Amino acid sequence: MDVKEKILVVIDLLSKNYPEAKCALIYNSPLQLLICARLSAQCTDKRVNLVTPALFSRFQTIEDFALADVDEVANYIKPCGLYKVKSQSIVQMCRRIIESFNGRIPKDIKNLSSLPGIGRKTANLVLGEIYGKPGIIVDTHFARVTKRLGFHKLKDPAKIEYLMKEIVPEDESIAFCHRVVLHGREICRARRPLCQYCTLKKVCNYYNGL
């Protein structure tokens, strides 16, 4: 089976396992998703969803965040960890959107990923979720699962993104990424993957000792 056939098999199996796969972060606007994604670094989506209602009630617009006192933002997001760095980059990000993009969130990967605290992972997530643009969202789960399946032997997220972009059909890409992440959280865990319950084992290099 070549890589193009294999990816179709994996896409098919994952879509059966996780038909409803979608972003677990709760948001109501592109700004909120950008901030949620920034908060989710080294933090669970569940915890992010716990702190954001109060945060988004206090600060509602890009201008609100741009004018915010960094320490006040930090207080709201403390449970997410790295709160000093995250609060600073959220305020700086909103100032930059106003100063460099006339208060509009960029809709392209180059400008979006140039914002403070926003890397390609978050930029691809926002472009896919909000604007329906195809993209590969590489987080730690995605990198691990796709490596075990045998699609690459890479560590660098940008290289994984470019490689997977070549083989995942564009119209499947965002849902595929969400499903891979779910699979990584539930079955293909970092420590002791639950291979006995995994429907992908027949095409998995790690399982088959390849």
Catalytic residues, by residue number, are 121, 139
Q: Which residues contact 150 (CB under 8 A, 6 or more apart)?
A: 6, 203, 204, 205, 206, 210
Task: Say whether residue 200 binds ligand SF4 (CB under 6 A).
Answer: yes
Binding residues among 117-146 for ligand SF4 as defined by CB under 6 A: 145
Q: Of the candidates 62, 39, 42, which has an alpha carbon nearest to the alpha carbon of residue 51?
A: 39
Task: Say whether residue 193 binds ligand SF4 (CB under 6 A).
Answer: yes
Residues in the chain: 210
Q: 127, 143 in Cβ contact below 8 A?
A: no
In the complex with ligand SF4, the residue whose CB is nearer, 6 or 201, is 201
In the list 97, 149, 160, 163, the residue contacting ligand SF4 (rule: CB under 6 A) is: 149
CB of 188 to ligand SF4, least distance (A): 3
Q: Which residues contact 17 (CB under 8 A, 6 or more apart)?
A: 179, 183, 199
Q: Of the candidates 1, 4, 6, which has an alpha carbon nearest to the alpha carbon of residue 148?
A: 6
In the complex with ligand SF4, the residue whose CB is nearer, 7 or 188, is 188
Task: Say whether residue 59 binds ligand SF4 (CB under 6 A).
Answer: no
Question: What does the binding site for ligand SF4 look like in residue numbers (CB under 6 A)?
Answer: 145, 148-149, 187-188, 193-195, 198, 200-201, 204, 206-207
